[in-house]
Chains A and B, each alone.
Chain A
Amino acid sequence: MPRIETFTVAIDTGQLGTQEPPRFCFNGFDCEFDEPTGGTGAGQRFEGRFAPRSVPHQLYLSGPTEGTWEIAGIEIHYELSDGDRYDIRFGAVTLNGTNAVNLWRQRPQPTFDV
């Protein structure tokens, strides 16, 4: 399995936002995003990136320690050590202090026209 060199995430917040900066867990390490832009208030879009340069086992976006964060959608762009790049899109999910959402997905299988 190739390493994740970098990943970039864009999070669209729904009706309920959070004031806490987004945090994620990569292979058990609790981290914040690098180069964050935008926000996580209601209707806002947050973007951030990280360069783990590691083989992925866990990649979770943590819920806020207080309150509820309604996420309308998440887009992730992965860049792997073998040069492959791909995007994954998730739909709505609600996070809070008791949960986290899994962000890691293997690269999709290739498609071809028939």
Chain B
Amino acid sequence: MQSPTHDASERSDGQQQPGQGHRLPVVQRPVEIGTVVGSEESGGPEEGPKARQVIEAPLLHDAGAGNAISESGEVRIKAQPTTDGRACSFMTNRMLCRGFSWWFDGTSVVEECPLAAMIFALPSVESVLLDGSVLAICLKADVRVRWPSFAAEVGAVIRTYLADGTAVVAEYVIDTIPDEATIRRDIQRVVDEEINPGIAAHSGVITLDSVQGNSVRITMGGGCQGCSAADVTLKSGIHRAFRDAVPRLGAIYDDTDHAAGANPFFS
């Protein structure tokens, strides 16, 4: 997972640098972190700082929200709404999906996942994602809720279902998940033939970083990184194209470090 960055020596945003007014940097030497694209080609005796690719280490989430995953005992759930209030993750101490993830948009889920069907019975839920010990729900676009009370309703539904010990996703559904190679091939085709040509006009580029089970991780680069419309592009364009190409696709994770965007289109 790469996150291209910019040459820090070109910084002109007026932000305070470390050490200004406080302390000097410990080491005074040319900064090695530079732009990934192009800096290797500068060449010559005045070649700039050596470029490094900035990669992302896997972020270790506190599975079960501090509670050890268990198959018995009390069901414990922690809710974590997003900053925009559009979605909320429910971290449980039960393994909901092992080795795969599952995404529901509310159609034909009763037989596939009774738990998801029960959650869709609550008002305003647009989609449900299951991954590991986490269940995440996304609300319809024009809906806002008071999360403390709404999350309590969702938590009660989850707790009631999990207390039975019933499988969360039906076995026959799991058997229909394509293998990783097939998912990688089909998603890469969508990236190459549909998405990247479409966002090339904005100097954007999408990279498929990995496929694990039926979950994919992508990064948004070029003009997409840090762009104010990146979220819309991701949800309205990329998600839809990916799910059309691979109907059994599970989670889609965006690993882009948008705060480090060097070339947002609307900068």
Contacts and interface: CB of A to CB of B under 8 A. Distances in A.
A100 B260 contact: no
Contacts of A89: 59-60
A28 B52 contact: no
B25 A101 contact: no
Interface of B: 3, 5, 8-9, 11, 15-20, 22-23, 25-27, 29-33, 50, 52-60, 65, 76-83, 90-91, 148, 151-152, 154-156, 257, 259-260
Q: Which of A92, A100, A111 has the most CB of B within 10 A?
A: A111
B26 A100 contact: no
A114 to B, nearest CB: 3
A73 B27 CA distance: 25
Contacts of A111: 65, 78-80, 91
B142 to A, nearest CB: 22
A60 B131 CA distance: 29
Q: Is the interface of B mostly helix, strand, loop or mixed?
A: loop
A18 interface: no
Q: How many of chain A's residues touch chain B, expressed as a range? A: 35 or more
A27 B33 CA distance: 10
A55 to B, nearest CB: 6
Contacts of B17: 27-29, 54
Nearest to B16: A54
A105 B52 CA distance: 20
A55 B65 CA distance: 29
B33 A62 contact: yes
Contact of A58 (B33, B82, B152): B33
A52 B19 CA distance: 6
Contacts of B55: 93, 99-102
Interface string A89-107: 1111100011111101110
Given A53-B18, A97-B50, A114-B90, 4 more contacts: A30-B25, A34-B26, A57-B259, A109-B80
Complex A-B, nearest 4 residue pairs according to Cβ-Cβ distance, in ascending order? A28-B8, A114-B155, A90-B57, A91-B58
A111 B80 CA distance: 5
19 contacts: A27-B8, A31-B27, A52-B19, A74-B57, A90-B60, A91-B60, A97-B50, A98-B53, A99-B55, A100-B54, A100-B55, A101-B57, A102-B54, A102-B55, A102-B257, A111-B65, A112-B148, A114-B152, A114-B156
A60 B32 CA distance: 11
